[in-house]
Amino acid sequence: MTNRSFRRPPVQIAAPVAAVCTLLLLGLWIRGADAQSQPDIVLVPHRATYDMKLSVTRPNSGIVDVSGRMVLEMVDSCDAWEVKQRIKLKFLRNEGDEFDTDSSFTSYETKDGLGLRFSVRNIQDDEVEEELRGHADLQAAGAKGRASFTLPEARSFELPAGTLFPTTHLMLLIQHARAGDKSVSYGVFDGARLDGAFQVNAVIGKPPRGPLPPVRGDVALLRGQQSWSVRLAFFAAGDQGTANPEYEMALDLLANGIARSMLLDYGDFAVEARLVQLQALPRPRC
């Protein structure tokens, strides 16, 4: 690995997610407009803490160890979902030197799926390597839109028809999982890059087998929930089918939007995130 700053993957599942793609299946963006109104898709406001460690290191990565923590917070603010995520990691290279990264992401996405405000900051060894800020709006569900940045510079560009914002994408993934769909693909914009939306391919499988590691806190949020193994591949716009994804993410995703575990695959290495603490956040009286 070179000395370039560490780049995190899209954050929302969100994402979720995410992190969180270009539409490939005809007509699915119309169903996406109805995702929030589905009575059986109820995201739970929560704060989740994950321990992170190196899972896989590949030849020539230069990385021999990774450790750290991620905190993901999802807040219901009546007409929008506020998502806050912070990832702090320590890397050890094979030469013996270390570097620290501190990546934070915040977003405010309206529940109609048409508006997004976002802020991103990536720090390496106490120096700000990247800072992004701006907003995006869609003309209507399934219609085109526009993203505008104020940091690092004033920039504006069109979002193609069918683009989703991260929380809408998360809800739609859950809807597809409940319906038994095995794969879907969408365009998702989260503000984490200056050159447009990601193309995100999702493969939806059965829940992971075996006992789950213990979790502290409000574990009742994990009980009685359907779950699925979801693999997400993130492509830069126009790269799908012609290149490897920029990032991949594997999730153990619950029907209420909580991820019990994640695997963040950066290509040269992969980092595992395991849920260790969970706190329910209050729902507002709207």
Is residue 7 one of the residues assigned to a domain? no
E strand intervals along 111-246: 115-124, 127-138, 145-151, 155-159, 163-164, 183-188, 198-205, 216-217, 227-236
- Does residue 2 sit within a domain? no
Write down the residue that tokens 């620290």 correspond to.
Answer: 100
Structural domain that includes position 40: 19-280
Tell me whether residue 51 is in a domain: yes
> How do beta strands 269-280 and 216-217 pair?
parallel
Which residues, other chains included, contact 223 with Cβ-Cβ below 8 Å and sequence gap of 6+?
none
Q: CA-CA distance, 187 to 199, in Å (whole number)? A: 5
Q: Phi and psi dihedrals of 150, rounded to 5?
A: -105, -20
In a domain, 104, yes or no: yes
Residues comprising the chain, all counted: 286
Among 39, 70, 72, 71, smallest CA distance to 52 is for 70
In a domain, 237, yes or no: yes
Model confidence, pTM? 0.84
Examine residue 67 and state whether it is found in any structural domain, yes or no. yes
Asked if the structure places residue 11 within a domain, the reply is no
pLDDT by 10s per residue, the chain, length 286: 333 334 444 333 333 333 332 222 222 232 333 443 444 689 999 999 999 999 999 888 889 999 999 999 999 999 999 999 999 999 999 888 999 999 999 999 999 999 999 999 999 999 999 999 999 999 999 999 999 999 999 999 999 999 999 999 999 999 999 999 999 999 999 998 888 888 999 999 998 877 778 999 999 999 999 999 999 999 987 665 567 888 899 999 999 999 999 999 988 899 999 999 999 999 999 8
